[in-house]
Amino acid sequence: MLYLIGLGLSYTSDITVRGLEAIKKCSRVYLEHYTSILMAASLEELEEFYGKKVSLADREMVESGCEEILRDADKEDVAFLVVGDPFGATTHTDLVLRAKKQQLPVEVIHNASVMNAVGSCGLQLYNFGQTVSMVFFTDSWRPDSWYDKIWENRKIGLHTLVLLDIKVKEQSIENMARGRLIYEPPRYMSISQCCEQLLEIEENRGTKAYTPNTPAVAISRLGSANQTFKSGTIEELSQYDSGEPLHSLVILGRQCHELEIEYLLEFAESKDAFRQAVIQDQEYFKPAPWVPPSEDQDF
Ligand SMILES: C[S@@+](CC[C@H](N)C(=O)[O-])C[C@H]1O[C@@H](n2cnc3c(N)ncnc32)[C@H](O)[C@@H]1O
């Protein structure tokens, strides 16, 4: 059996009882190690808690060399551990499809994900649109396809969850070109960098999916002992020191219930200024009134 097991957001003990029982039966245990990190637990602590050796699975191993993970999963139990939920944000459907093609039995054991725990900032999950990922810009690569998705969400008044890039086990271009297996230290995007990139693309595009004064909430280290939330405009948050990773950002949509606003005000530097920013943004992005079709119009 191949078990895909969610580890939850932060602590060793965030794993579910069923997940832990499954690991105990497994002869090999892999930890997916490139889309997220378990903030309050080291590899050694996980191994001690499970009583098992845990192998780190990087992107290359999962995406191109997953045969090692799937090996003998028809005769033995193998665990593939994912921080958060195995289908939260990064979906590991590819691994499941490969296992199914080889007729290997698969079981998924779910856990909390950033995709639902984000609700603890006070915004209602029902009011979220498409989630987007913000990648680190380089001098020559500044992808902005996420902009259109934010725009679509904002047009219908929905909030946008922005997940921030993580670079683990990346090679520099020079080391890659020279075939040297030397890896750069891990990098995690901060809230300020994400907001700077948002502002840069808005300035380039100029189509006003949002403005520097659009309200947002920064969410850091969700589910850990020192989780924090900060409400502010995108411009204000571009100056915010968000501290240790992990971070996510939510850009508010126009459809903001009074209770959602009340919750977010607790995290604002100035409650009055934040409320004003919400009101102004709602007003600025108010859709044009609906005009009923005239009677002689053809359909
Ligand atoms: C690609 S997603 C993987 C999500 C994970 N599988 C899950 O279900 O939660 C990783 C990104 O989600 C966000 N994220 C994950 N955990 C977080 C946390 N505890 N606090 C804030 N953001 C988090 C960060 O932006 C991070 O770079």
Ligand 1 atom nearest residue 165's Cα: 27
Please check whether residue 294 lies inside any domain of the structure: no
Question: Exposed, middle or buried by CB within 10 Å (0-12, 13-18, 19+), for 13?
Answer: exposed
We report the CATH number of the domain holding residue 97 as 3.40.1010.10
CATH number for the domain that contains residue 174: 3.30.950.10
Nearest residue (CA) to ligand 1, atom 18: 222
Residues 84 and 39 reside in one and the same domain: yes
Q: What is the dihedral of CA 134, 135, 139, 140, to 10 degrees?
A: -100
In 56-190, alpha helices (H): 59-63, 67-70, 93-101, 114-117, 146-155, 173-177
Pair 192, 252 in one domain: yes
85 lines ligand 1 (CB under 6 A): yes
**What pLDDT shows up at residue 298?**
67
Q: For residue 88, which atom of ligand 1 is closest to its CA?
A: 8
CA distance 165 to 190: 9
Residue 181 and residue 247 share a domain = yes
Both 103 and 223 in one domain: the answer is no
Distance CA 134, CA 194 (A): 7
161 is annotated as contributing to ligand binding: no
Give the per-residue pLDDT at 241: 97
Ligand 1, atom nearest to 223 Cα: 19
Closest CA to 185 of 171, 200, 196: 171
The answer to whether the beta carbons of residues 160 and 150 sit under 8 Å apart is yes
Please tell me the total number of residues recorded for the chain in this structure.
Answer: 299
**Scanning the structure block, which residue is given the tokens 């219930």?**
257
The reply to whether 88 and 175 lie within a common domain is no
Q: Which residues of 22-41 are buried (b: 16+ CB within 10 A; e: fewer)?
A: bbeebebbbbbbbbbbbbbb
- What is the predicted pLDDT for the residue at 90? 73
> How many independent structural domains does the chain possess?
2
Answer yes or no: is 114 a known binding residue: yes
Q: What is the 3-state secondary structure (H, E, C) of 190-245?
A: CHHHHHHHHHHHHHHHCCCCCCCCCEEEEEECCCCCCCEEEEEEHHHHCCCCCCCC
Q: Do residues 79 and 163 share a domain? A: no
- Supply the pLDDT for residue 122: 97
Is 229 within a domain?
yes
CA distance 249 to 39: 18
Ligand 1 mutation pick, 5, 11, 34, 36, max ligand atoms within 8 A of CB: 36
**Domain limit, last residue, from 83, 112, 141:** 112
Residue 101 pLDDT = 93
CA–centroid distance, residue 81 to ligand 1 (Å)? 15
Does 222 count as an annotated binding residue?
yes
Do 50 and 171 fall into the same domain? Answer: no
Domain that holds residue 27: 2-112
153 within 8 A of 159, measured Cβ to Cβ = yes
Cα of 246 vs centre of ligand 1, distance in Å, is 7
Phi, psi of 248 (to 5 degrees): -140, 160
pLDDT of residue 174: 80
Q: Whose CA is nearest to atom 7 of ligand 1?
A: 84
Q: How far is CA 126 from CA 110, 116, 256, in A?
A: 20, 10, 11
Do 138 and 201 belong to one domain? Answer: yes
User: Which one of 112, 140, 161 terminates a domain?
Assistant: 112
ipTM for the predicted complex comes to 0.99
CA distance 93 to 108: 11
Bridge partners (DSSP) listed for residue 106? 2
Task: Provide the whole-model pTM.
Answer: 0.94
Distance separating alpha carbons of residues 167 and 198, to the nearest angstrom:
19
Pairing state between β 187-188 and 166-167? antiparallel
For residue 238, tell me if it sits in a domain. Answer: yes
Of 50, 82, 112, which closes a domain? 112
Average pLDDT, consecutive stretches of 10 residues, N- to C-terminus, the chain (299 residues): 97 97 97 86 94 91 84 95 91 89 96 97 97 95 96 96 90 78 86 98 96 98 96 98 97 95 97 98 91 78
Between strands 215-220 and 132-134, the pairing is unpaired
What separation in Å is there between the alpha carbon of 123 and the centre of ligand 1? 17
In this structure, the answer to whether residues 63 and 182 fall within a common structural domain is: no
For residue 17, tell me if it sits in a domain.
yes
Annotation-wise, does 31 bind a ligand?
A: no
At residue 205, the pLDDT reads 95
